[in-house]
């Protein structure tokens, strides 16, 4: 889904950024794994890795999850060029994402 969107919007002032938010499996969901996943899925674009501030506290969440109130994988946040969040939810609907991005352009 994401690869198709990236191809569609290539060169059109659209950026795709990926963040692995580790909220469980701390010993295996590390930055090295994020890089392996990037290679495995051939993700073009920056991949970040965010962990909870206190991995010993099961209620602690990574800053990205806290700040954007994300709750699952894959989670999508669409932000317009003015920094306004236009979409923030769990969805795999590529056509919806396409229409949303087109409307914002």
Q: Identify the band that residue 62 occupies on the pLDDT scale cut at 50, 70 and 90.
A: confident
Mean pLDDT across 91-96: 86
pLDDT tens, residue by residue, 22-37:
777 666 778 888 888 8
- Parse the chain into domains and list their residue ranges: 2-8+19-104
Q: Is the pLDDT of residue 76 over 80?
A: yes
Helix orientation angle between 94-104 and 2-9, rounded to the nearest 10 degrees: 30
CATH code: domain 2-8+19-104 is 3.40.30.10
Q: Say how far apart CA 54 and CA 2 lie, in whole Å.
A: 31
């Amino acid at each position: 889904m994401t690869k198709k969107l990236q191809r569609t919007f290539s060169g059109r002032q659209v950026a795709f950024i990926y963040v692995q938010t580790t909220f469980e499996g701390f010993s295996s969901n590390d930055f090295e794994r994020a890089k392996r996943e990037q290679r495995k899925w051939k993700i073009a674009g920056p991949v970040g890795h965010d962990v909870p501030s206190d991995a010993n506290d099961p209620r602690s969440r990574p800053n990205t999850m806290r700040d954007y109130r994300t709750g699952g994988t894959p989670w999508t946040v669409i932000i317009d060029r003015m920094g306004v969040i236009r979409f923030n939810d769990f969805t795999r609907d590529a056509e919806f994402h396409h229409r949303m991005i087109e409307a914002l352009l």
